[in-house]
Structure 1
Amino acid sequence: MHRTLLTSALALAAVTGAAQAEQVFNRIASFPVASNMAEGEDRARETSAEIIDVTADGMTLVYTDSPLGVLGRINITDPAAPAPLGNIALDGEPTAVAVLGSTAFTGINTSESYTAPSGRLAAIDVTSGEELASCDLGGQPDSVAKAPDGSFIAVAIENERDEDLNDGVLPQMPAGFVVKIALTDGALDCDSLQKIEMTGLAEVGGDDPEPEFVDINALGEIVVTMQENNHIAVIGADGTVASHFSAGAVDLEGIDATDERGALLFTESQQGRKREPDAVKWIDDQHFATANEGDYEGGSRGWTIFSKDGTVVYESGTSFEHALVQIGHYPDKRSDAKGVEPESVTFGEFGGKPMIFVGSERGSIVGVYDATDPANPVLTQLLPSGVGPEGYVTIPERNLLVSANESDLIEDGGARAHVMLFEYAEGEAAYPQLTSEGMEELTGWGAISGMVAEGESTVWAVSDSFYGYQPRIFKIDVGSKPARIVEAIDITRAGHPAQKLDLEGITLDGQGGFWLASEGRTDRVIPHALYHVNAEGEIEEEVGLPAELMAVEKRFGFEGITLVNGTLWMAVQREWADDPKNTVKLVAYTPESGEWGAVRYTKEEPATGWVGLSEIVAHGDHVYLVERDNQHDDRAVTKKITRVSLDQMQPAPLGGELPLVTKEDVRDLLPDLKAGGGYVLDKVEGLAIFSDGTAWVSTDNDGVDDHSGETMFFTVGQLGTGY
């Protein structure tokens, strides 16, 4: 009897424990859009994943790709291993898609010009690619939405303005409108097309409305945003405007409103900033959420929940942007415009919780909010997306969230456009891996470069030249999860922020201060140099490169610095003029004597692009180096840690024959870089090794400039040898 009761109690405890286990979203896979191109197609062409939806069975994703003029399809039967299903060619530019069953209703822009807009709504069989029907829309479509009961399709006909004409000032005719088309047994009924006028509603450009985004609730009501007009309308089930109102404005405090100064200073304000909402999504039959990207005269950097009568139920203000600042995703080059630019919003119920997902176009982050109380939604997670998230789809029955990321940086050698999949499951949030949350002042950061370990749990790091007018040393506590920036030390010269620094390396000087390595750019008048700074960040000594090095120097300076028995060693990233092919220098400088020397190091032959060194760290009887190529995603080949024994580090005088050291491979970092479900990031730049051999690695996020902003900051445990 007692055994039975005990067994039952243990079973109940197990069930209760399972029920109470925390569920979170984590990224499980990334799909490069270019892999949907057919054999023989030019994969160097620009691709994009913009608006995305899923078939009724939850197994096939469908997305618009406007550069290629196609609908793309992805098999997600196994969501952790998405597979290409190929593209469906269209005779125009797809702007949006909504899938009912296995039919994709696609808005297609066929406009000849801004003044002669045209387009159609096509019904396409997702499996076969066959076009089943098409309706002329009488204008240029933007957003497409499906009624929850499958009874009709709504289309926002934007008839967008020419931003180069008259400085883009409204009005620019013809005016936009909304279209409603009935579905009969799932088929388009073009004869039912209803044109719903939006003119005369907005205070801004009222005679030239530009409907941007539409969504439909269970009552058959259509909510439509008019972004440039800063206006919102709700269209009743009968197809007439039931209510409309200004989207309003927000007073913003504690923002960075100055562009390209190379510093993150959140001390400015903007009063009366118009919301100008882009995406809109019903969260129930009475409320909807908007992402307030801005486009014409505004952009409030946040998102809002409205009642359908126009009452503001919740306003995020700067809280969403500030959350991105703390995890290193703030795009400084957009400071004077729209900051993190929330562009996308969607809704889904997971584990019984109503959730709102807000996408930052420029910060490349998806914010997850628990909207149990619409008046007080709670930010629970920040998920790393690809570059420029544009569209989302939730698949609650499979515990999946999917983001479509539109930016393809192939022309600049950057990351390709990707679709990313996130799963809601028990576990711990894998991202962010580094944050400044908890500091007394809002502290932005990014472009983490060189690192060095101290004590049991402190890593010191520097950011590179992207923040050239705010060079800093960051103190990071790796004993917490995620790792936390707990102090930011400004580097100063004569008490003022030091400028013209390109910091790529940091090491302890053994006296409470630091030695820093500045890579330099002679074409930008940034010197190649070493800097000795005290604990407060004040530069006490500056050491320029000797004439023997400057005579052969190209653009590539020091990437990393470490101290060995009184001698500083610096890794040079790439070949200089006197280096044999695929070799670089490891340069030595002894501060006490002022002597310089070097050895040579052989790096890998690049498969594509180039291979170079990004870090050097002394530990035990070796110096450890980060060797990497400059490739992203599936093009990446070389990302690894190597080492060279100290007994080989015998520098020869500059100008003569330099000894060639032999390296030993220690760890292939490609599996680590793929472990987060994203594409491989190119810039592994930081390495710190504690006294017990535990190593930490970081990536440089380029200051969120043509980059997703994602920073990987992780431990690889105690370093061994071999792969």
Structure 2
Amino acid sequence: MTYRTIGLTSVLALTAGVAQADAFNRIASFPTHLNIGDGDQAVETSAEIIAVTADGMTLVYTDSPLGVIGRIEITDPANPAPLGNVALDGEPTAVGIAGATAFVGVNTSESYTDPSGHLVAIDVASGDELSRCDLGGQPDSIAVAPDGSFVAVAIENERDEDLGDGRTGQLPAGALVMVDVSEAGADCATLQTVALTGLAEVSPEDPEPEFVDINAAGDVVVSLQENNHMVVVNRAGEVTSHFSAGAIDLENIDATDESGALIFTESQTGVVREPDAVKWVDEDHFATANEGDMDGGSRGWTVFNRDGTVVYESGVSFEHAIIQAGHYPDKRSDSKGVEPESIETATFGDTRMIFVGSERGSMVGVYDATDLASPVLTQLLPSGIGPEGYVSIPERNLLVSANEVDLIEDGGVRSHVMIFEYSDADPVYPHLTSAGADELIGWGAISGLAAVGDETLVAVNDSFYGYQPTVFTIDVSATPARITDALPITRAGRPAQKLDMEGITSDGEGGYWVASEGRIDRMVPHGLYHVNADGEIAQEIGLPNELLAVQRRFGFEGLTLVGDTLWMAVQREWEDDPAGLVKLVAYNLETEEWGAVHYPLDAPTAGWVGLSEIVVQGDHVYLLERDNQIGAAAVTKQITRVSLDQMVPAPLGGDLPVVTKEVVRDLIPDLTSTGGYVLDKVEGLTFTPDGRAWVATDNDGVDDHSGETMFFAVEGLTDSGS
């Protein structure tokens, strides 16, 4: 029943607690719907591929749902401003910039068998079209030569994945196009098409170019993702080298979608890399993000010499670092794991760097690539959901990510462009990591918190990991805080099921009381569980009939022990509760009597408001009260308290006394302090004996979530309201 891999440690300097002279930190997040202006902002938008003008002051990104390019002013990078969208007459696939001219690939294909598209040059400031070149096929990636002299376009002519077996071998074939840049934009008369057929071992008749980049010598590197092949073409349009991207063996991975368990004990052999993004590192080497597509995806990234020699292979190390940071997307285990999709290279100061983006883990890995044969992962940065493209601006010490996922239809977070600054400052993220543990500990969906010592907390995960309920031990003396152990919760020696752990408190004897939030439609009962020091459930306490008769889906969210009485916060109103009042339920462990009081919720401005945690500290109980809103729509994310002398439970079934709450902390400034948007689920709260409050957010198991977990201390709550 073990689910951790033995003997693995991260090379990530940050999470090992090593001080750094310079680091990247996020300073701003720009939601792309702001570029709609006065129009209907409640429509899907997306930031995909992104570029920057030569002066470093304006970002331009492709937005395929809207059929536009969006523009952002970053004169003050900490306060990006919308410059509006420029409408196109097709789907933008990529953008590159020479000076202040944006070159955009536009897909106008009628069908897979009749692909078409054009290259349009647009003045960034005015939005005016300068020139347009027919490309003779469906464009994907675009690259502008470092000297601005020409543009390279990957003509993918992608396959229909729903046709037959969905494999390559569907014509027309893709190609590479090169066109000179002139004062009027693109000089269409110079357009040159370079055939790439007959090169790859996989479907040589049907190359599907995915990504292009150009080095200082004018050489173009092209990834043929589905063909698992790399091609280098010189400025004259001659293929100077080409080779298979190859395959690797993967050990200690989770390769099975087991619906809620992180089990890194599996392996795969002969996994083809199938690179997506590729970027030159110097004139002889390039790096690939091995996302995979048709047959593979090796979960890592590679540095190749232009002759095909592998100079460096990350293997599983990048994915393992993401696992330790709590960003592992378990629902993608049977696919391609964290899916490195994007890559960027630049020199900041005197340090050559490679930035690797995980599409599914929503993280950016920062590598010191001074030694190309042995790059060092120095940081992991949190991004929005689904980072698709990056642009570095080293002359301004900036890195920018474009994050394509927009969950407007589900009431979720919007697509964002995020800006990171490189400065002489301590790295802020991650807040919580399992790096440095004796074993590889996967974690996520942190819910309830409890203190068990001056510098030690425990946390539980919720029902997202339904087959792996766990108590995590956290050392808060480390920076970042460190998960040092994971204790499986068992029933009769096997992982306990039908639990949705939302609260935990120490029993004072080495074990725990755990509150489970029920959900009747999934046969998960509301209940209390006594867990011994070995993680075995020793006692289960169900709800009395008085509560069973009125229960709803949203149940216990947190519990605390006051003397002989367990107090549980109910998240939202049940059937017998007046609107705006929720129960704080009491259970006396000695007399086995149940009771409750009513707690008044703030009125929601949208959605709902409920409770997420309860903990006793001194002569008060403290509670987390939040709405279910995210980003700019969030209003209520706060810590409140109720004096213990009001916590006198009345018998169930009758009128309950209504307690008076005091708001002691608005958490929205804390939740925006790292330059991101306001996360929805503030779920965990506890106090260490020194009076520090610790707060944690739930990352939903990295499912329709960026995976970002905020875990931070708040001082002074016990002194007075603030």
Partner of residue 35, structure 1: 34
Q: Which residue type is aligned with residue 240 of structure 2?
A: A
> What is the distance in 1 between the residues matched to 2:64 and 2:34?
16
Give the CA deviation at 1:174. Answer: 1.1
Q: For 2:20 and 2:442, how far apart are their aligned partners in 1?
A: 32
Partner of 2:149: 151
SS at 1:167 equivalent:
coil
Residue 111 of structure 1: aligned partner: 109
Cα drift, residue 721 of structure 1 = 3.3
Q: Distance in 2 between matches of 1:151 and 1:598?
A: 74
Which sections of structure 2, spanning at least 5 residues, go unmatched? 1-18
Once the two structures are superposed, what CA deviation does each residue of 1:15-44 show, in whole Å capped at 9, x if it has no partner?
xxxxx97010000010010111120x2211
Q: TM-score, normalised by structure 2?
A: 0.97
What is the Cα deviation at residue 412 of structure 1?
A: 1.4
Partner of 2:176: 178
Q: State how far apart, in whole Å, the 1-side matches of 2:720 and 2:227 are.
A: 62
1:453 Cα deviation (Å)? 1.1
Structure 2 match to 1:199: 197
Q: How far apart are residue 162 of structure 1 and its match?
A: 1.2
- The one-character-per-residue Cα deviations of 1:381-422 (angstroms, maximum 9, x if unpaired) are 000000000000000000000000000111112111000000
SS at match of 1:323: helix
Alignment of 1:124-523 (within 5 A): 124-185=122-183, 187-523=185-521
Matches of 2:309 and 2:606 in 1, distance apart? 55
Q: Which amino acid aligns with 2:421?
A: E
- Following the alignment from structure 2 to structure 1, what is the Cα–Cα distance between the partners of residues 20 and 117? 50
* 1:151 to partner: Cα distance: 1.0
> SS at 2:361's partner residue?
coil
Corresponding residue for 2:630? 632
Question: Do the aligned residues in 2 keep the contact of 1:150 with 1:186 (CA within 8 Å)?
Answer: no
C-alpha distance in 2 between matches for 1:34 and 1:464? 32
1:144-178 Cα deviation digits (max 9, x unpaired): 00011111100000011111111312211111111
Question: Which of the residues 630, 653, 668 maps onto 1:670?
Answer: 668
Q: SS in structure 2 opposite 1:122?
A: strand
Matched with 1:87 is: 85
Summarize the alignment of residues 571-590 of structure 1 with structure 2, pairs less than 5 Å apart: 571-590=569-588
Per-residue CA distance 1:208-263 (angstroms, 9 max, x = gap): 11000000001110000010110110001211111111000010000000014311
What is the match of residue 9 of structure 1? none
CA distance, structure 2, for counterparts of residue 125 and residue 539 of structure 1: 66
Q: Once the 2 structures are TM-superposed, how far is the Cα of residue 691 of structure 1 from its aligned partner? A: 2.3
Measured in 1, the distance between the counterparts of 2:258 and 2:638 equals: 33
Q: Distance in 1 between matches of 2:439 and 2:119?
A: 51
Inter-partner Cα distance in structure 2 for 1:607 and 1:244: 59
> What is the distance in 1 between the residues matched to 2:589 and 2:664?
30
Partner of 1:657: 655
Output the amino acid matched with 1:299: G
Matched to 2:501, the amino acid is L
Deviation at 1:78? 0.4
For 1:525-536, what aligned pairs fall within 5 Å after superposition? 525-536=523-534
Aligned-pair distance for 1:660? 0.7
The whole-number CA distance in structure 2 between the counterparts of 1:175 and 1:522 is 54
Deviations 1:636-673 (A, max 9, x none): 10000000111111111111111111100010000000
| One-letter amino acid of the counterpart of residue 464, structure 1 | D
Alignment match of 2:715 (pick from 714, 717, 720): 717
Please say if residues 627 and 635 of structure 2, whose CA atoms lie closer than 8 Å, have aligned partners that are also in contact.
Answer: yes
Q: State the distance in 2 between where 1:402 and 1:104 align.
A: 17
| Cα distance in 2, alignment partners of residues 50 and 390 from structure 1 | 5
SS of the aligned residue for 2:612 comes to: strand
How far 1:589 moved relative to its partner?
0.6
Task: Please give the alpha-carbon distance, in whole angstroms, between the structure 2 residues aligned to 1:130 and 1:548.
Answer: 69
2:490–2:537 Cα contact (<8 Å) kept: yes
Note the 1:639-654 alignment, pairs <5 A.
Answer: 639-654=637-652
Hey, what's the Cα distance between the residues in 1 that align with 2:212 and 2:340? 17
Query: Counterpart of 1:450 in structure 2: which amino acid?
Result: G
Contact 1:326-1:435 within 8 A present in 2 as well: yes
Unaligned runs of 5+ residues in structure 1 are 1-19
* Alignment partner, residue 708 of structure 1: 706
CA distance in structure 2 between the partners assigned to 1:183 and 1:451 by the alignment: 59
Listed one character per residue, the Cα deviations across residues 100-132 of structure 1 (whole Å, up to 9, x for unaligned) are: 111000000111111111100000011100001
Q: 8 Å contact 2:20–2:426 — kept in the other structure?
A: no
Match of 2:537 among 536, 539, 542: 539
Matched-pair contact (CA < 8 Å) for 2:597–2:647 = yes
What CA distance in whole angstroms lies between the structure 2 residues aligned with 1:578 and 1:86? 50
CA distance in 2, matches of 1:112, 1:409: 28
Contact 1:667 1:721 in 2 (8 A): no
Residue-pair matches, total: 703
SS of alignment partner, residue 168 of structure 1: coil
Instruction: Tell me the amino acid that sits aligned with residue 21 of structure 2.
Output: E
Distance 2:217 2:445 in 1: 48
Query: Helix, strand or coil for the counterpart of 1:166?
Result: coil
Alignment of 1:5-84 (within 5 A): 22-39=21-38, 41-84=39-82
Whole-angstrom CA distance in 1 between matches of 2:455 and 2:585:
29
Distance in 1 (alpha carbons) for counterparts of 2:23 and 2:597 = 49
Query: C-alpha distance in 2, partners of 1:186/1:380?
Result: 43
TM-score by length of 1: 0.96
Mean CA deviation greater in 404-413 or 357-366: 404-413
Deviations 1:546-569 (A, max 9, x none): 111111111111000000011000
- Opposite residue 634 of structure 2, the aligned amino acid is A
Return the offset for 1:186: 6.2
Deviates more, 1:264-273 or 1:584-593: 584-593
The amino acid of 2:25's aligned partner reads N
Take 2:20 and 2:535, find their aligned partners in 1: how far apart are those partners? Answer: 45
C-alpha deviation, 1:454, in angstroms? 2.1
Number of the residue aligned with 1:596? 594
- Which one scores higher on RCO, CA 8 angstroms, separation ≥ 6? 2
Q: Distance in 1 between matches of 2:456 and 2:75?
A: 43
Q: Is the 8 A contact 2:285 2:306 kept in 1?
A: yes
State the alpha-carbon separation in 2 of the partners of residues 322 and 480 from structure 1. Answer: 20
Amino acid at match of 2:112: Y
Deviation at 1:688, TM superposition (A): 1.1
Tell me the equivalent position of 1:558: 556
The answer to whether the 8 Å contact 1:665/1:721 transfers is: no
Equivalent position amino acid for 2:55 in 1: D
The CA RMSD over aligned residues, in Å, is: 1.0
Q: Secondary structure at the match of 2:651?
A: coil
Q: Which residue of structure 2 aligns with residue 17 of structure 1?
A: none
Question: Does structure 2 conserve the Cα–Cα contact (< 8 Å) formed by 1:492 and 1:538?
Answer: yes
Residue 581 of structure 1 deviates from its aligned partner by 1.0
Note the C-alpha offset of 1:537. Answer: 0.7
| Mapped partners of 1:368, 1:200: distance in 2 | 36
Provide the rounded CA distance (Å) in 2 between the counterparts of 1:140 and 1:21.
45
| Alpha-carbon distance in 1 for matches of 2:633, 2:197 | 50
SS in 1 for 2:547: helix
Contact 1:105 1:122 in 2 (8 A): yes
8 Å contact kept, 2:609–2:627: yes
Match of 1:7? none
CA distance in 2, matches of 1:198, 1:185: 30
Q: Distance in 2 between matches of 1:242 and 1:441?
A: 46
